[in-house]
Amino acid sequence: MLINSLSGVEEDVNEGFMESILSKVRRVKVDERTLYEGSFRIKESKITIKTDPEAFTAAVLSILEHRNQLEAYVKNEPAFLTALEPVNVWREAPKVIMRMDEASRIAGVGPMASVAGAIADLAVEAAIDAGARGVLVENGGEVSIDGAYTFHVALNVRGTILSDNIGFKVTPKDYPIGIATSSATSGHAISFGVADAVTVFSKNAAYADALATCICNAVVGESPEQAVEAGLSTAKGIREIRGVIIVVGDKVGIVGRVPEFVYIEPGKTPKL
């Protein structure tokens, strides 16, 4: 369910939707503090939010608002939805469109390549503005984190050597951070490469999302080793990439700075 605007929606619609989400929220301990953790779906998107109780609702409403603004925009500008390279946007376009446009131009890919990350970033910002000391938002596998808490994020790319309980420990020294994964062999994303998985770390999830697509497209070669090296070479030339992990078959390449690897207990953390 999407809403037309936060100011123009009947209160019972908002309340009913929020009540449904809040009824499923779990209380979890992070750095000795009690946070809300909730997962829910909006159309095709599966979303997980972990933050302080007083900021949880603000993050949810941000996602609803910006998804709605995006849908309204693409009705008027359908090329924005299908473009595989940057496109011109309205000078006074909604914030989510501007964030996607910026990421698109940095990565040289279509703006929709960053949609999940951009919406996650905006939800994180809304939570911080609402008083959160820390927040993690995962939107369709793309993760945005900021604040003062340490989080563990699982990397679970099916069918690869990184599919068994491997993850990352991200701490305030890493923040703000965006983490995104793209694959040419699984999922519905369009890719021109051969990577089983490309995970990118950047300063926000919109950048990471678009750049994961960019690097995934660059992972090409006559052998898995050559394909991995081609992707790493491309990543080295993009200053907005903090670090990247590329997987092709049983070959793995890493360049730049990535968070500490950790073992993740199954079912305990958001998965990329």
pLDDT in tens, 27-39: 999 999 999 999 9
Residue 3, pLDDT > 90, answer no
**Selection from 57, 63, 50, 55 nearest residue 145 by Cα:** 50
Q: What is the mean pLDDT of residues 199-207?
A: 98
The pLDDT > 90 percentage for the chain reads 76
Q: What is the mean pLDDT of residues 217-221?
A: 97
Q: What does the mean pLDDT of the chain come to?
A: 89
Q: What is the mean pLDDT of residues 75-98?
A: 96
**Would you place residue 138 in the very low, low, confident or very high pLDDT band (cuts 50, 70, 90)?**
very high
Residue 114, pLDDT > 50, answer yes
pLDDT given at position 166: 82
Residue 13, pLDDT > 70, answer no
Question: Which tokens in the block code for residue 135?
Answer: 């927040």
**Selection from 265, 271, 225, 268 nearest residue 246 by Cα:** 225
Strand pairing partners for 134?
147
Element counts in the chain: helices (H) and strands (E):
7, 12
Q: Distance between CA atoms of 197 and 201, rounded to whole angstroms?
A: 13
**Would you place residue 192 in the very low, low, confident or very high pLDDT band (cuts 50, 70, 90)?**
confident
**Would you place residue 222 in the very low, low, confident or very high pLDDT band (cuts 50, 70, 90)?**
very high
100-131 residues labelled b (16+ CB within 10 A) or e (exposed): bbbbbebbbbbbbbbbbbbbbbbbbbbbbebe
Q: Is the pTM of the predicted complex or chain greater than 0.85?
A: yes
Alpha helices in the chain, H assignment, sequence order: 11-22, 53-76, 79-82, 95-107, 115-129, 205-218, 224-236
Residue 83, pLDDT > 90, answer yes
Q: Distance between CA atoms of 263 and 265, rounded to whole angstroms?
A: 7
Q: Distance between CA atoms of 132 and 117, rounded to whole angstroms?
A: 19
Q: Which of 2 and 259 is assigned the larger pLDDT?
A: 259
Residue 174, pLDDT > 60, answer yes
pLDDT given at position 185: 83
Residue 207, pLDDT > 90, answer yes
Residue 10, pLDDT > 60, answer no
**Would you place residue 156 in the very low, low, confident or very high pLDDT band (cuts 50, 70, 90)?**
low
Ranking 53-57, 92-96, 247-251 by mean pLDDT, the lowest is: 247-251
CB 10 within 8 A of CB 21: no
Residue 202, pLDDT > 50, answer yes
Q: Distance between CA atoms of 209 and 102, rounded to whole angstroms?
A: 12
Q: Which of 185 and 4 is assigned the larger pLDDT?
A: 185
Residue 14, pLDDT > 70, answer no
Ranking 42-46, 64-68, 180-184 by mean pLDDT, the lowest is: 42-46
